[in-house]
Structure 1
Amino acid sequence: MTPERVKKYIIAVDHGTSAMKVALADTCGEILAFEYEDTPLYLYPDGGAEQDPDEWWTAFVKATRRLLTKQLVPKEDLVAICVSSQWSGTVAVDSDGKHLMNAIIWMDSRGESYIREKNEGIINISGYGILNIARWLRSSGGLPAKSGKDPIAHILYIKNERPHVYESTYKFLEPKDYLNLRLTGKFAASFDSIMLHWVTDIRDINNVHYNKSLIRKMGIDEEKLPRLLRAVDILGIVKEEVAHELGVNTDTKVVVGSPDLQSAVIGSGAVQDFEGHIYVGTSSWIICHVPFKKTDITHNMAALPSSIPGRYFVANEQETAGACLKFLRDNVLFCDDPNRFNNPEVYQEFDKIVENVPPGSNGLIFTPWLFGERTPIENHTIRGGLHNISLPVKRDD
């Protein structure tokens, strides 16, 4: 008789903007259990949006230890850790891997003026110089966001506004790649996580690499960028002290992993070309894989490297979606309830409220632009509101 195959398990990390979620899954994708810890977000009047990487790590350790304390599987059958994380963030670290300032996350627009200078030319279309459009589209498939919310704009902001941090930076890392650094001590990014720096050549999807011309165009130092690997590669094993801190074996592997957007579409099962996936989290997006490299600059859509080797995907994002529900929870409906942060069932109360609301909410319109918008028109200053308010409108609408 063939001996029964012993199941192996993975610690799967979903590092979002609002919380750190850690799940225990088997290698077939079945989730046994999960834990989460909230992570604070710091917003500033000048368009700044930051998080403390130490608070990320503390949340990760707490959630992981709580998960493993349940002893659902033998410790020796935990074979790997894989991190998926919020995308389009920047962590400046020194050569010892210590962060030099708070992480600048995907909502931050303070680099807007600096990226505008790089985007513009003598003759412009939608804020981009014609020659710049040709250069970027040919190599990286897209264009730096005019809002200043891409990592390349974060780096330019640091270089111009905090030059001492820029000079002391050994590597600029995405949030996922920072957590991987804490786990393994190794500096690296994946083909898909590095994309929004807009300094790579993706024409050969199996050989994504830095474009020295684009790096010079941006005025940054190539040596401050991490080496590139595939999302499916093994980055290394956990550091011994980290293994003891988490409660895993010292031979536990760490997979390079991919950002949240790319991971979510795979998790949904939409892995064939043109199979659509819709997601609602802090932000929201619609995404599908495509068999070509193509860009629509008027609607901020581009085919970019997928975390599936050799594949492209195309996506479009809305800046705030689930964040609007959180705003409603914290500032309107349950602002006086101290337990709202630790009660995931609170959103079910929303379902009860809308049961008696007629379709169309009596004509009330909510524009969900609570922190600017990326699509269909990019504008980091636009704000949300309630419109078409009339006497029939009630609180529940």
Structure 2
Amino acid sequence: MGAYILAHDLGTSGNKATLFSTDGKLIGSRVEPYDTRYFNGTWVEQNADDWWNAVCSSTKELIRGTGISPDEIAAVSFSGQMMGCLCVDRQGRPLRPSIIWADQRAVSQTAQIEEHISQRDFYHIVGHRNTPSYGVQKLMWIRDNEPEIYEQTYKVLNAKDYIVFCLTGKFYTEYSDGNSMGCFDLCGLKWSEELISYAGIDGDKLPELKPSTYAAGVVTPKASLASGLAPGTPVVLGGGDGVTANVGTGSICPGKTYSCMGTSAWITTTTEKPIFDEEMRTVTWAHVIPGLYAPNGTMQTAGGAYSWLKNTVCKMESYDAKLHGKSPYDYMNEQIAASPAGANGIIFLPYLLGERAPRWDIYAKGAFLGLKSENTRGDLLRSVLEGVTMNLDIILNILRQQVEIHEITVIGGGAKGDVWRQIMADVYNTRILVPSLLEEAGSMGAAVTGGVGAGIYKDFTAVERFLEINSVQEPDQAAVEKYRQVKAVFDECYFALKDVFPKLNV
């Protein structure tokens, strides 16, 4: 058996190929970008051949750069962008570009489903709301607007599923990506005949469902020539990117929780049953670990709000940083650290792009409230980090109603700053764990899933070989008490302005 596992993480901006040794060491990684086409306001597409070319190029570069032999790779597995719609024919050839997760064109198709089933009933089948984001609504759009493409469609795939086909010639998806299609029975782990009927699509166009650990096949001779992988290398399905990160952060048993602090941000935990929130504020994904679930809440602008602050308010910090070879965030964090918990009374609502969880309000806007003449620049900056974190805390508390959460592993760019991590610890009143590798959770999760599927590991506790906690931040109880008061006001501010926000669309 080979000594390495290859993980491919097919994101929105490109594919990252990462090589791990079977004892959990990061050997190397390569990123190959690809284009995304944004048009018609809410339409977003990618070329599936660009995914395949990126996988082949990054694989060859990684093998060449690390000096290993392809025969030493014991398995290939995947983490991939979800909620897409790629139509392929019987030979697996793409019939049109993939409509990816960010696309929102299928508004009328979403309404068609809602003619048959309420949001609440839909939510209790799928674990998600009925929105234009999901795959079945996008397939309905193709049926209604490109009937010739729909008729030629043999299967509808997500990004990683297409790469699995390219490598093995087999059409499969697994439960987490199946869940992202929007016609998946979350409790039964099968396609929902009821929702397929309401959507009015041909259910045969959906691929066969398998567990994430399923070995779909082996690299074919043709795929070997294109990718540089050895023929006969086992190919394991892996999972959707948001859920493979559960594994990569150690969220492999009930209550283990992680937060990804990127441009958007989310909190995800692991449970034995789905969490169905009465107000439908959170969603639940099928976990890559058989028998488990991954309840989640995702907000629109987290690191994005901090980046907006840097680009608009903190131009002087950016100038100084360039002058002295530092990061603008270093200067910003110095000022934030000098401001007390609660930002001297400033509340920031972080809804710069509307909001998903916990508000589900497309009209929500960003706002600074409580400004006074004695406020400092540091107060303003601190309020942004606090506002993002308090919004995530609402999501956390929904999850805590059904599962005990005592610590959170934080990944992504927002986990780099000590100041923000302390705000998280204080707002959440929980320990914050920081891994040594902040950007590899999806790849690690894919590698462990591949290792389990290929028989290299007995179970998912193998992630302990991969995951190293670099630091831990404990909550400060004085700040915890202060934030307990501020969080109630934060919620009041949103609801006070909720009916005003739509009037600001001028």
The structure-2 alpha-carbon separation of the partners of 1:156 and 1:82, relative to structure 1 and needing over 3 Å to count, comes to same
- 2:127 alignment partner, one of 142, 145, 155: 142
The structure-2 alpha-carbon separation of the partners of 1:348 and 1:373, relative to structure 1 and needing over 3 Å to count, comes to farther
| Corresponding letter in the other structure for 2:198 | K
Is 1:116–2:111 an aligned residue pair? yes
1:337-386 per-residue CA deviation (whole Å, 9 max, x = no partner) reads xxxxxxxxxx972433424433459959473544x53212224x547657
Percent sequence identity is 26
Q: Is contact 1:367-1:386 (8 Å) kept? A: yes
Is 1:182–2:162 an aligned residue pair? no
**Secondary structure of residue in 1 paired with 2:58:** helix
Is 1:291–2:275 an aligned residue pair? no
**Secondary structure of residue in 2 paired with 1:375:** coil
The structure-2 alpha-carbon separation of the partners of 1:120 and 1:355, relative to structure 1 and needing over 3 Å to count, comes to same
The structure-2 alpha-carbon separation of the partners of 1:373 and 1:167, relative to structure 1 and needing over 3 Å to count, comes to farther
Is 1:158–2:142 an aligned residue pair? yes
Shift of 1:174: 1.3
- 1:40 alignment partner, one of 35, 40, 47: 35
* Paired position in structure 2 for 1:125: none
The structure-2 alpha-carbon separation of the partners of 1:145 and 1:30, relative to structure 1 and needing over 3 Å to count, comes to farther
The structure-2 alpha-carbon separation of the partners of 1:32 and 1:209, relative to structure 1 and needing over 3 Å to count, comes to same
> Structure 2 length normalisation: TM-score?
0.65
Q: Is contact 1:191-1:228 (8 Å) kept? A: yes
* Paired position in structure 1 for 2:329: 351
Alignment of 1:313-324 (within 5 A): 313-322=294-303
- 1:231 alignment partner, one of 199, 203, 212: 212
- 1:374 alignment partner, one of 356, 370, 380: 356
Q: Is contact 1:136-1:198 (8 Å) kept? A: no
Distance 1:160 1:85 in 2: 27
Q: Is contact 1:141-1:294 (8 Å) kept? A: no
Q: Is contact 1:115-1:144 (8 Å) kept? A: no
1:304-330 per-residue CA deviation (whole Å, 9 max, x = no partner) reads 421101112211112344566777899
* Paired position in structure 1 for 2:192: 211
> Structure 1 length normalisation: TM-score?
0.81
Distance 2:88 2:268 in 1: 32
Aligned pair count reads 364
Superposition RMSD in Å: 3.1
**Higher radius of gyration, 1 or 2:** 2
**Secondary structure of residue in 1 paired with 2:327:** helix
Structure 1 gaps of 5+ residues are: 1-5, 122-127, 335-346
**Secondary structure of residue in 1 paired with 2:176:** coil
The structure-2 alpha-carbon separation of the partners of 1:364 and 1:274, relative to structure 1 and needing over 3 Å to count, comes to closer
* Paired position in structure 2 for 1:93: 88
* Paired position in structure 2 for 1:64: 59
**Secondary structure of residue in 1 paired with 2:245:** helix
Distance 1:100 1:257 in 2: 25
Distance 1:27 1:219 in 2: 46
The structure-2 alpha-carbon separation of the partners of 1:109 and 1:65, relative to structure 1 and needing over 3 Å to count, comes to same
| Corresponding letter in the other structure for 2:30 | E
Q: Is contact 2:12-2:81 (8 Å) kept? A: yes
1:241-290 per-residue CA deviation (whole Å, 9 max, x = no partner) reads 22122222101111011001110011001212011110134532111111
Distance 1:329 1:92 in 2: 40
Shift of 1:194: 0.5
**Secondary structure of residue in 2 paired with 1:313:** strand
* Paired position in structure 1 for 2:16: 21
| Corresponding letter in the other structure for 1:199 | C
Distance 1:135 1:367 in 2: 28
Distance 2:359 2:174 in 1: 29
Is 1:307–2:292 an aligned residue pair? no
Distance 2:311 2:229 in 1: 36
Distance 1:187 1:87 in 2: 16
Distance 1:250 1:171 in 2: 25
Higher RCO (C-alpha 8 Å, min separation 6): 2
Distance 1:319 1:74 in 2: 42
Q: Is contact 2:196-2:202 (8 Å) kept? A: yes
